[in-house]
Amino acid sequence: MTQVFQDDGTMVAVSVLAIEPNTVTRLRTPERDGYSAVQLGAETARKLNKPDAGQLKDLPKAAQSIKTKREFRVDDLGAYELGQTVSIADLFADGDEVDVTGVSKGKGFAGVIKRHNFHRGPQTHGSDHHRAPGSIGPGTTPGRVYRGLKMSGHMGDERVTIKKVRIVRTDPDRNLLLVKGSLPGARGSLILVKKA
């Protein structure tokens, strides 16, 4: 994250995204696949397994080592062809709103106070109920704990989508996208950006 100044002088906290040019690796057609979609690929792998290499064999030599692939539904496939490169200048402009999906930072095992913002118990008068969750349900009936009850457990490391994030600035020359606010995931992690 960093901060930039807008034309009116206000400062905005932004996350800087390095958007690699994406290559069209496959076109899904309603006749063959039952739906219309474009599969985009990014990141190069040092070595691919045979199924992935077989899927990319029809592409130009430079695009045959693509590691990460994602599909996006589209209405019209006419604007895309195999091996075509899609850059941020083609997709995004300043002021657009996008949905950003990433995997949040893992925080390990956490108690209910940190994980679910529970209040703590009394600290004095002999109480030993300082950070415990309290009652987890009735007794004989139903005789079990209800599904989905908020308890201690693994926190973070889950897919998170932040919707309608505003693009503050685009830099097509350096393939950078500056979006307002913070985003899920650790520095350098892979994220998915699509129009809101």
Cα dihedral value 153, 158, 161, 166, nearest 10 = 100
Cα→Cα distances 58→29, 38, 54, 167, 194, Å: 17, 15, 8, 35, 26
Helix (H) / strand (E) containing 39 = strand 37-44
Q: Give the per-residue pLDDT at 43.
A: 83
Q: Give the per-residue pLDDT at 65.
A: 82
Q: CATH: 3.40.50.150, 1.10.3720.10, 3.40.605.10, 3.30.160.810. Which one for 2-93+170-184?
A: 3.30.160.810
DSSP type of residue 182: -
Both tokens of residue 9? 């002088």
What CA–CA distance (Å, rounded) separates 34 from 30?
A: 4
The runs of H, that is alpha helices, within the chain are 30-33, 50-55, 88-91, 112-116
CB atoms within 10 A of CB 11: 9
What phi and psi values does residue 192 have, to the nearest 5 degrees? -115, 125
Q: What is the pLDDT along the chain (196 residues), one digit of tens a residue?
A: 999 999 899 999 999 999 888 889 889 999 999 999 999 988 888 888 898 888 888 888 777 888 888 999 988 888 898 888 888 888 899 999 999 999 999 999 999 999 999 999 999 999 999 999 999 999 999 999 999 999 999 999 999 999 999 999 999 899 899 999 999 999 989 999 988 8
Give the global pTM: 0.80
Is 46 buried (19+), middle (13-18) or exposed (0-12) by CB count in 10 A? exposed
CA atoms within 13 A on the CB side of 18: 7
Q: Give the per-residue pLDDT at 166.
A: 96
Both tokens of residue 6? 């807008």
Q: Give the per-residue pLDDT at 100.
A: 95
Cα→Cα distances 123→34, 114, 128, 132, Å: 62, 17, 8, 12
Both tokens of residue 138? 């009735």
Q: Give the per-residue pLDDT at 135.
A: 92
Q: Give the per-residue pLDDT at 160.
A: 96
Q: Give the per-residue pLDDT at 83.
A: 85
Q: Give the per-residue pLDDT at 18.
A: 92
